[in-house]
Amino acid sequence: MNLIRWESTDPLESFTHIQREMSDLIDFLSSTPKIEGYVGAEFPQVVVSINKNSVIVRAEIPGIKVNDLDVQVSEDILSIKGERKPNVSDETVTYLRRERNFGTFARSVMLPEKVDAEKVAASYKNGVLTITLPKAAEKKPKQITIQKS
């Protein structure tokens, strides 16, 4: 009779090996080639932050004319639309390297709080669009007095 020696002390160890192999496989399959810049990403990229009185949305849109931007607020959705135009045409120059993208874009952001649409302010400086949306009055906490009966 042949005796088979049990090599591994822990029978679960082979499972951890399989698990590792599987996770490597998943990593391999899910690793899409890294796309740089705006290609494939939502444009413009935004940062949504909040302070005591307002919601602030920032978007990096370098080199756009303010007239080409369209910002709208309806209920709790903020939409930014626009067109980024190159300032030189392809015909007059020869491109040696192209990383920046141009074209129309549109995106909507759901706001974290109710805002006062009448008092929304937007500014554009150094290629960054900053939209300040004051919180609606009803969202501010209201003190309730308790009456002793």
- One-letter amino acid of 122: A
Residue 67 within binding range of another protein, rule CB under 8 A: no
Q: Which residues of 42-60 are buried (b: 16+ CB within 10 A; e: fewer)?
A: ebbebebeeeeebbebebe
Strands across the sheet containing 69-74: 69-74, 77-84, 103-110
Please, which of residues 70-99 interact with another protein by CB under 8 A? 88, 92-99
Q: Which long-range contacts (CB under 8 A, 24 or more apart) does 40-43 make?
A: 42/107, 43/101, 43/105, 43/107
Binding letters toward another protein, positions 114-133, x by CB under 8 A: ----------x-xxx-----
- Least distance between another protein and beta carbon 26 (Å): 16
Residue 14 within binding range of another protein, rule CB under 8 A: no
- Least distance between another protein and beta carbon 111 (Å): 10
Binding site for another protein (CB under 8 A): 7, 36-38, 41-42, 45-52, 56, 60-64, 88, 92-100, 109, 112, 124, 126-128
